[in-house]
Chain A
Amino acid sequence: QKEVEQDPGPLSVPEGAIVSLNCTYSNSAFQYFMWYRQYSRKGPELLMYTYSSGNKEDGRFTAQVDKSSKYISLFIRDSQPSDSATYLCAMKFGNEKLTFGTGTRLTIIP
């Protein structure tokens, strides 16, 4: 079993819809939960991060962490074609290395 599981998609939704992206994990020691966005032919860039449990909101994006269920989510409201990308979850504890999910490819249809 992988430490971090993520549905690879692809996921296609119409413009304006709410998008939900999710990851599950098995290592209860993870403390930092991150979402990276990767546009085609580019490297990933950090979109949001959460330390421990709870929610974090940044504009149209909301990150949620449920440590009891070992489940994290990224919600995108009012999705735009410019949100089309691959979204990777990543996790770590302390100073240890990042563990990535496989990434979900998202397409927003105008």
Chain B
Amino acid sequence: DVKVTQSSRYLVKRTGEKVFLECVQDMDHENMFWYRQDPGLGLRLIYFSYDVKMKEKGDIPEGYSVSREKKERFSLILESASTNQTSMYLCASSSNRQGHLNEQFFGPGTRLTVL
């Protein structure tokens, strides 16, 4: 079974703090993704990575950065948290071995509140 784990289920931070969200997958997947999920807006892609040390901007990268030093781990960084970054953050991974289907497997999410 594919397992995608996220470091925290709930996180409360203050405005201006640097925030790290960690994601680990155990299925040797090449691709990893960070989304945020907000009511009425659905899932929006922040950043993704197709390989170690490689990153690509998604649809809403502003205010975020990422790091992928190892294949199994993908970190999302909020350099200076703001209240409009309060959201549910979802990490996902997928394999290139399914052709173009690339089913994405999601973690349980981290609900981040920025005060």
In the complex, number of A-B residue pairs with CB atoms less than 8 Å apart: 47
Complex contact B4–A97 (CB within 8 A): no
Complex contact A32–B104 (CB within 8 A): no
Complex contact A100–B48 (CB within 8 A): no
Chain A 38-59: CB-based contact to B (< 8 A → 1; otherwise 0): 0001111110010100000000
Q: What separation, in Å, do the CA atoms of A42 and B51 have in the docked complex?
A: 26
Complex contact B40–A102 (CB within 8 A): yes
A interface residues with partner B (beta carbon < 8 Å): 6, 8, 31-32, 41-46, 49, 51, 88, 92, 94-95, 97-98, 100-103
Given contacts A42-B109, A45-B105, 17 further A-B contacts (CB under 8 A): A31-B100, A41-B9, A43-B4, A43-B92, A43-B106, A43-B108, A43-B109, A44-B106, A46-B103, A88-B42, A88-B43, A97-B48, A97-B58, A98-B45, A100-B43, A101-B42, A102-B42
- Between A and B, 23 residue pairs with Cβ closer than 8 Å are A8-B40, A32-B101, A41-B109, A43-B4, A43-B92, A43-B109, A44-B90, A44-B106, A45-B106, A46-B103, A46-B104, A49-B101, A51-B101, A88-B42, A88-B43, A92-B100, A92-B102, A94-B100, A95-B102, A97-B48, A97-B58, A100-B42, A103-B42
B interface residues with partner A (beta carbon < 8 Å): 4, 9, 39-43, 45, 48, 58, 90, 92, 100-109
